[in-house]
Structure 1
Amino acid sequence: MGPRWKGKGAEAKALAEPMSEIVSQLQSSLTRSDSQGLLSGCSVLLEAGAEQTELLNRSCFGRPVITAEKDKQWFQLSMEEAFYLCHSLGCLKIVGEDNHLKNDEELWQYMKSRRETFPDFYMAYSHLRIKNWVVRSGSQYGVDFVAYRHHPALVHSEYAVLVLSEENENANGRLRVWSDFDCTIRLCGSVAKTLLVIHINKNGHGATTPLCLKKYSVEERTITRWSAEQCREVQTPETSSNYHLNPSNHEIIFGLLTS
């Protein structure tokens, strides 16, 4: 499946305003204003000015929070979004509920305590963001993330993303049997998305500090559904054609005998 643009001119607008440039503008704006976020449970609250509000919306970081304060705009950042702005881009400071500024290691430990799988999810999130994909929660589709080629106002999400590693694969029990694959692939097909499995390999390293991320590796696999009805051998008296599927190292195609 390729990108499904929303309306005439959407692709041209995306090409004219690359996501990398928008994120760079946000990074500069947050750095200049010495922005601080506030830890609040499993998210971070960020007060934004007019310029930052526009850039946060354009770069798809966080979600606006409706409040009674007309002169202020707050954004709720997920843990992955907040740590990416703080650790990877270095443009956001985060304080705890005690107003104590958290360094990267303290923030890492806090987020791990809130969700055991945070290191795996953050590695997958940052892996996609570095490649300039827009990453949003995929809970409504039964996956971990959905990935967009550009802003969701311009294009539909292209990938439904599942994050797996040695630990969370066993803990969550996902994609361990054929029926799991079948259900997930059918769901992705019904909403016109390709299933992307991101496997985090820790290479024998733990997750004690964010420095461990440099030791991790990421393996991507797209999984698609193959229908024999669409790819059967065709023979006529004049010609004889054989269709062969040769998946690359980054694609797994499963054959189903029935549609």
Structure 2
Amino acid sequence: MSMITPSSRSRGGPNKGGTRRNENNRIYANPLPVFFAEPPPSRIRSVLGLLGLSLTEVVNPHCEGVFDSTTRSVWVSNPKDTILLWRRGFFGKGDLSRSEPSWLARQINNRRTGGKQMTSEEVTAKRRAERKQFKLDRAAAIAAVAAEAESIFETEGRVIKPALSGPAIPSAATWRPAPSLSEPPAPSSPEDEEVDATELDPLVDVEHLQLTLQEAFFLSWNLDCLTILDPHTNEAMSLKQLWTACQVAHLPPTIPANLNPPLQFDSPFLINYVIYHHYRSLGWVVKGGIKFCIDYLLYKRGPVFTHAEFALVVCPVYEDIEDQKTSSLDLQNSSPFAWSWLSTINRVNSQVQKTLILVYVTIPARSRLSLENLDSPACLQHYSVREVTLRRFIPARMRD
């Protein structure tokens, strides 16, 4: 069956996809790496409950990553830490994968099953290939109908309007992919599998989980479940060292390096971390949105459950306009943008059923705060967040 058929989702009955949904609920049950473990019911627990006490245990895993200033990220290479951070909050992305670090699973799948059991990346690639082939087949059919109408006009003189639908024109409900697209390759014989198993080199997982600096600092500071190592000394970085390194990594190389440290209130790291911390604290899963020409996407539970509902565009605003004039940074969207640009972004996200939100981050003025405030995360209290929601007005669809 074609994977682009619109009605295919409802043909399997109410239980279609229920097994996978239940499995996802089990795997991604914890929204954060830190969770509370309830002890089994007992008489002691009942007595402590009457006294207002609890035996609930806070389970806080400790993962480890390496700071990388070149890519402005933190690399987590331990497979156990990688799986834990992804499955408990969807932090980071695999450097060799679209989102979930599944490179090793894809390689093992190709060896063992010949591609019968596909990962999320392979399912997406197959679906895109089928959509592309459907468009090509439909365009070829329409061209054939148009050529037939032109031939009839030349030979018989009759004018026939080429039809864009009908038995000769494939639609999403009738088109089926070719066997080369829908059927996996034939499995090899047992003799071939034995030869392959002995001759192939063992697989080594070369993929790592790449955390943005905002994600890494949130895990290290707020949840205390990530230890970040200095790449030069291989020693754990203190909170102050990490805080300063994150700000410096986001500054452009044009800023003189002799400043110690070259910290500024309009640092791109600070502005983006304010946004990330704000929405993560409210329970949203925050992921990058470059695919849709915006800064961030907001998921209610995570990418494996539903698509993102909101698209965020970060708009820095200077409390003192003189700070913007004297700043060595040219922050994106800090100056008024054209309505054509805003309309384009809004249209793109409306087509994928996302609500566009302009998030204004107010940068505190240097006249009332000294740069010493940037030495610790306590400076975040001087930043504020305001939101403006935009929706396209479509007269034909919004009369009610």
The range that moved more, 212-221 or 181-190, is 212-221
How far apart, in 1, do the equivalents of 2:82 and 2:60 lie? 10
Residues 146-225 of structure 1 correspond to what in structure 2 (within 5 A)? 146-166=297-317, 171-173=331-333, 176-204=337-365, 205=369, 208-209=374-375, 210-225=377-392
**Residues 181-228 of structure 1 deviation map (CA, whole Å, 9 limit, x = unaligned):** 211111111221111222212343567232111222221222111133
Contact 1:53-1:73 at 8 Å conserved across structures: no
Deviation string 1:27-81 (CA, Å, 9 cap, x unpaired) is 94533xxx3311112111123353x343222221112355897478732111111
Aligned equivalents of 2:355, 2:302: Cα separation in 1: 18
Aligned residues: CA RMSD: 3.4
Give the TM-score taking structure 2 as reference length: 0.49
Secondary structure at the counterpart of residue 246 of structure 2: helix
1:105 equivalent in structure 2: 240
* SS of the residue 1:156 aligns to: coil
Query: C-alpha distance in 2, partners of 1:49/1:171?
Result: 36
Larger radius of gyration: 2
Query: Which of 57, 64, 81 is the equivalent residue of 2:86?
Result: 57
Decide which of 66, 76, 85 is 1:46's aligned counterpart.
76
Partner Cα distance (1:71, 1:185) in 2: 40
SS in 1 for 2:214: helix
**Could you tell me how far apart the structure 2 residues matched to 1:28 and 1:48 are?**
19
- 1:16-55 mapped onto 2 (5 Å cutoff): 21-25=31-35, 28-31=59-62, 35-40=63-68, 41=70, 42-50=72-80, 52-55=81-84
Q: Is the 8 A contact 2:296 2:313 kept in 1?
A: yes
Q: Could you tell me which residue of structure 1 aligns to residue 221 of structure 2?
A: 87
- Cα 1:160/1:11, change in 2 over 3 Å: farther
Residue type of the partner of 2:65? G
- Aligned-residue offset at 1:126: 1.2
Residue type of the alignment partner of 2:293: G
**Aligned residues between the structures:** 224
Share of identical aligned residues, percent? 26
- What secondary structure does 1:154 align onto? coil
Structure 2 CA distance for partners of 1:45 and 1:61, relative to 1, 3 Å: same
Deviates more, 1:155-164 or 1:101-110: 101-110
Provide the residue aligned with 2:98 in structure 1. Answer: none
After superposition, the Cα gap between the structure-2 partners of 1:25 and 1:74, relative to the gap in structure 1 and judged at 3 Å, is farther
1:228 paired residue number: 395
Compute the displacement of 1:15 (Å). Answer: 7.6
Rounded Cα–Cα distance in structure 2 between residues aligned with 1:166 and 1:22: 31
Q: Of Structure 1 and Structure 2, which has the larger fraction of its residues in strand?
A: 1
TM-score by length of 1: 0.72
Alpha-carbon distance in structure 2 between the residues aligned to 1:25 and 1:73: 27
Deviations 1:4-31 (A, max 9, x none): xxx7558888888887644324994533
Report the counterpart of residue 257 of structure 1 in structure 2.
Answer: none
CA 133–144 in structure 1, closer or farther in 2 if over 3 Å, else same: same
Cα drift, residue 153 of structure 1: 1.3
Aligned-partner residue type, residue 66 of structure 2: L
Would the alpha carbon gap of residues 195 and 137 (structure 1) be closer, same or farther in structure 2, given more than 3 Å must change? Answer: same
Note closer, same or farther for the CA distance 1:69–1:28 as it changes in structure 2 (3 Å cut).
farther
